[in-house]
Structure 1
């Protein structure tokens, strides 16, 4: 399988508010950058969506390492939180619903297909690819005619 390295970031001005994601995909000297902006979203939704969009852009099954400054994303996937929430009917515990189940469903399906590892990087700490993703996400959130963040029903 191809080894692909992906960096992702999400940004939001206000939470909720206008937001965006940025992605840098690296494979054997090739580079692809992706970004989009959304109105009325959250930072966590943009963090998850960045990783989803990156994985959806792969044309075949790959070994993927996703670098993100979102501990929420890393922990939900690497510690199995998202699978647990799904098994519990999208509840974090007996009283609290898990947030963003529409995105977690997509993420879990993509991770059944691809071999994915999530690695945390400290944000705004000088990692050039993380900084580029942040720049892409912030610029996307400032664009006119932002997309609606349509939260899917589960």
Structure 2
């Protein structure tokens, strides 16, 4: 089983954004920070979530149980409900639906910010680099 932690940081809303991804497994501990471009804070959370999925596919980490942890209730609820009223979020949901079949078992779980410090720190690093 792999646990993935994702978070985003945005300066302004919308504004420049960065994301952090932490991958933790039995013999794996990887960290990555990524530039997310100019977007709103919610869009940044969706973008880092999608980038994490793409990274897992690229690294061929798809044949095991994966739990993605995010402190974004908007992202978690959109994925869990398979629906978003907000037209800005619908393309991210569509992308998720295209990527999800690549995984044996993919779960998403909301966690409080206090349990997402590693991904938050990486997101802030990415934002600083972007600026």
TM tier, smaller: 0.7 to 0.9
Shift of 1:131: 0.5
Question: Considering only aligned residues, what root-mean-square deviation do their CA atoms show, in Å?
Answer: 1.8
Q: Which residue of 1 aligns with 2:75?
A: 73
Q: For this pair of structures, how many residues does the alignment match?
A: 126
Question: How do 1:50-65 residues align onto structure 2 when only pairs under 5 Å count?
Answer: 50-58=48-56, 59=60, 60-65=62-67
Gaps of 5+ in 1: 86-91, 147-154
List alignment gaps of at least 5 residues for structure 2: none
Stretches (4+) displaced over 4 A:
none
1:101 maps onto 2:90 in alignment:
yes
Match of 2:110 in 1: 120
TM-score, length basis structure 1? 0.73
Identify the residue that residue 123 of structure 2 maps to in structure 1: 137
Compare the two structures and name the one with the higher helix fraction.
2
> What is the TM-score with the length of structure 2 in the denominator?
0.85
